[in-house]
């Protein structure tokens, strides 16, 4: 009787070990299958877009008026060799989000999210303080015009504060796209675009390190790029201007983090 009990116990232990190994193998196979089914995030340089080599953005004035909550700042620009409010001619072939309102100005304050303006004047509400203001011309699909005169940058002092000017001759990285929420077809391909001042990118020099949902990409050419393979929901993006050794280039704006959201089309949700 004792021998039978030992035999039964041995059989049960062997069966349990076999079951455990089988489950572990299935679990590992399942994890590998899930990983393989997840889309891979890729970053590729965008194809060439219409160029505007002599486009010019010139500041004509910036009137600052006190309000009950702060200050109203009214900028006026002169835009030359560029048509605001018109669609960029190749917008239908890009396969990315496009503004139906046409070409416009991206207006950025202290490297915050830009506001888009489709006329040559704009208003901003600001508190008293010191600001770096960057404005540049943008195609209708939000790709920046990188021509030499297509931007304006300045230190702006608002209100009765001690001026504290940033060094605008130093290298600076400004974040532009992507921004906000992308829906339906616009989620398939999302443009990454940024604006550089006083620096160039190269394989053996300064670069932009883009980290997208933990995936790291090194960019050594100032150009727009397309992100594909993003999951629905929240995506986190970090851009850093780094030197040849991988160190962050000093500057107030050379490391920036943003988040965007991707949603399926209504019939897909």
Total count of residues recorded for the chain: 269
Mean pLDDT, the chain, integer: 89
- 2 falls in which pLDDT band (50, 70, 90)? very low
**pLDDT in the model for residue 37:** 52
Catalogue all structural domains in the chain, each as residue range(s) with its CATH number.
45-268 (2.60.40.10)
Nearest to 125 by CA among 150, 163, 159, 152: 159
- 140 falls in which pLDDT band (50, 70, 90)? very high
| Highest-confidence segment of 11-25, 31-45, 53-67 | 53-67
**pLDDT in the model for residue 265:** 75
Higher pLDDT, 63 or 8: 63
Write out pLDDT tens, residues 211-240. Answer: 999 999 999 999 999 999 999 999 999 999
Is 106:75 a contact under the CB 8 Å cutoff?
no
Q: What is the DSSP string of 172-207?
A: EEEEEES-SEEEGGGGSEEEEEEEEES----TTS-E
**pLDDT in the model for residue 23:** 45
- Give the integer Cα–Cα distance in Å for 147 and 5: 87
**pLDDT in the model for residue 12:** 38
**pLDDT in the model for residue 39:** 74
- 145 falls in which pLDDT band (50, 70, 90)? very high
Write out pLDDT tens, residues 82-105. Answer: 999 999 999 999 999 999 999 999
Please state the rounded mean pLDDT for residues 4-30. Answer: 44
Compute, in degrees rounded to 10, the torsion defined by CA atoms 260, 252, 153, 239. Answer: -30
- Give the integer Cα–Cα distance in Å for 18 and 24: 10
Write out pLDDT tens, residues 153-208. Answer: 999 999 999 999 999 999 999 999 999 999 999 999 999 999 999 999 999 999 99
């Amino acid at each position: 009787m004792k021998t039978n009990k030992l035999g039964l116990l041995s059989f049960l232990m062997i069966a349990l070990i076999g079951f455990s190994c089988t489950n572990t193998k299935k679990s590992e196979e399942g994890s590998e299958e899930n990983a393989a089914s997840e889309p891979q995030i890729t970053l590729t340089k965008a194809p060439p877009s219409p160029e505007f080599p002599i486009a010019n953005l010139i500041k004509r004035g910036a009137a600052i008026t006190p309000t009950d909550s702060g200050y109203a700042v009214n900028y006026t620009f002169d835009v030359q060799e560029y048509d605001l409010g018109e669609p960029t001619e190749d917008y239908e072939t890009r396969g990315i989000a496009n503004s139906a309102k046409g070409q416009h100005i991206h207006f950025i304050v202290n490297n915050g999210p830009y506001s888009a303006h489709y006329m040559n004047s704009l208003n901003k509400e600001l508190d008293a303080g010191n600001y770096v203001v960057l404005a540049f011309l943008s195609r209708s699909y939000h790709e920046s015009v990188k021509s030499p005169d297509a931007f304006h940058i300045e230190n702006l002092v608002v209100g009765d504060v001690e001026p504290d000017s940033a060094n605008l001759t130093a290298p600076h990285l400004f974040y532009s796209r992507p921004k906000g929420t992308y829906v339906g077809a616009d989620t398939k391909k999302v443009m990454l675009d940024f604006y550089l001042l006083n620096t160039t990118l190269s394989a053996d020099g300064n670069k932009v390190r883009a980290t997208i949902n933990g995936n790291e990409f090194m960019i050594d050419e100032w150009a727009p790029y397309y992100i594909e393979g993003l999951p629905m929901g929240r995506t986190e993006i970090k851009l850093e201007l780094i030197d040849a050794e991988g160190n962050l280039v000093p500057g107030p704006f050379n490391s920036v983090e943003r988040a965007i959201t991707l949603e399926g089309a209504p019939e897909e949700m």
